[in-house]
Structure 1
């Protein structure tokens, strides 16, 4: 009985020690967003749309070199399309779609000390995202005149737990998105700088469940600055 009590106390002590090293903080930066346009999942680089992300992260040490880093972010994705020259009287067209999501990444990060409090890190993990807003915008001019406009993005009611969505439509986006992340960066003291590539695995257009190709999926490069409260391991 005494042995069990001692082992239990040791387990609690180790857990408390690990939790004492957990750090939380903020992270944000620039997104370079795009949406795939081909069956193979390629993107058109001319359609990259600048956006941003901001949110909170935590760093749970699992060993001396491995951490679990979940987070919650408000992030912008999407793409743009541009044809012609706005100084050309023969015609010009520009449109952009900028859906906004609440995204939850679950990244596992390996850290390599390189001296002092500086560490290089590499990570990978899944993400899940939920659409909460965004805008579609367009601008068109021709010899006949000019037109501009914008509208709020419409979302359907899909969830990972339903097989049918009575609210789907081709003028809407799927509210639920998911995929994976690959990231790399450097941590120095409480600060970090990182680059991350988000590979969307779900089609974003409502009613588009065709799994035979990789069109209409989110692709996002994210460049971030962050600050973690607490001592550096």
Structure 2
């Protein structure tokens, strides 16, 4: 009788563990370091800024669709932008260094609230799962400024020439490994598809590489 009771207890425990791992919907948090940059294109010529160091923090919902696939919407605060080295401009197009007033770099700082909608494929490996995924995102700009030396200039948002757009759209690519306890290590790449500025002369698009930790409850 005791053996039967022990077996039933063990079976119940295993069932609980399996159900905990295969919840139809789970929620989580994530945070990490971001390395954003900007691509500026005009007249068939593209220039990439250097990346700067920023961060991101947010929450996700993980919705199981099948034993392999899951749908993962989320909401993330992320810092974007880039750093333009003016010394390269001096070398490439012959700008007089005296015209730069001792400023050697211009940094663009954007803050976005981003809504990613990712489809993930999950593969059992060891005590956890590898996952890879991709999907579109929509982002709303909260603030933007440009810094050059000790000077800071806040950007204007609107629909007129030279003003920044509030909305941005793009694609996300991500991958990582999630442990059975819910902790995960992940990396991602965001590719902006829409221009961030109203300009008849060219486009400016965001790119973000990121790496961080997450936890699913």
**Displacement of 1:21:** 2.9
Residue number in structure 2 paired with 1:205:
197
* Structure 2 CA distance for aligned equivalents of residues 71 and 187 of structure 1: 17
| C-alpha contact (below 8 Å) 2:34/2:56 kept by paired residues | yes
Aligned CA-pair RMSD: 2.5
Structure 1 pair 183–41 and aligned structure 2 pair: CA distance change class (3 A):
farther
1:196 to 188, 203, 207: 188
Q: Does 1:79 find its partner at 2:93?
A: no
* Structure 1 CA distance for aligned equivalents of residues 46 and 175 of structure 2: 22
**Displacement of 1:174:** 0.9
Residue number in structure 2 paired with 1:105:
116
Residue number in structure 2 paired with 1:3:
none
Q: Does 1:120 find its partner at 2:127?
A: no
What is the TM-score when the length of structure 1 is the normalising length? 0.72
5+ long unaligned stretches in structure 2: 1-21, 89-96
**Displacement of 1:42:** 5.8
Q: Does 1:177 find its partner at 2:168?
A: yes
5+ long unaligned stretches in structure 1: 1-18, 140-147, 157-166
**Displacement of 1:41:** 8.7
**Displacement of 1:20:** 5.0
| C-alpha contact (below 8 Å) 1:102/1:132 kept by paired residues | yes
Residue number in structure 2 paired with 1:24:
27
| C-alpha contact (below 8 Å) 2:103/2:148 kept by paired residues | no
Structure 1 pair 174–107 and aligned structure 2 pair: CA distance change class (3 A):
same
Alignment length (residue pairs): 184
2:106 to 88, 95, 113: 95
Residue number in structure 2 paired with 1:13:
none
> Going by fraction, where is helix more abundant, 1 or 2?
2
Q: Does 1:153 find its partner at 2:132?
A: no
| C-alpha contact (below 8 Å) 2:62/2:71 kept by paired residues | yes
* Structure 1 CA distance for aligned equivalents of residues 77 and 165 of structure 2: 17
What is the TM-score when the length of structure 2 is the normalising length? 0.77
Structure 1 pair 84–197 and aligned structure 2 pair: CA distance change class (3 A):
same
**Displacement of 1:192:** 1.1
| C-alpha contact (below 8 Å) 2:175/2:186 kept by paired residues | yes
| C-alpha contact (below 8 Å) 1:31/1:51 kept by paired residues | yes
2:147 to 137, 150, 165: 137
Structure 1 pair 27–42 and aligned structure 2 pair: CA distance change class (3 A):
farther
Q: Is 105-114 or 73-82 further displaced after alignment? A: 73-82
Structure 1 pair 115–41 and aligned structure 2 pair: CA distance change class (3 A):
farther
Q: Does 1:67 find its partner at 2:78?
A: no
| C-alpha contact (below 8 Å) 2:69/2:119 kept by paired residues | yes
Residue number in structure 2 paired with 1:54:
57
**Displacement of 1:27:** 0.6
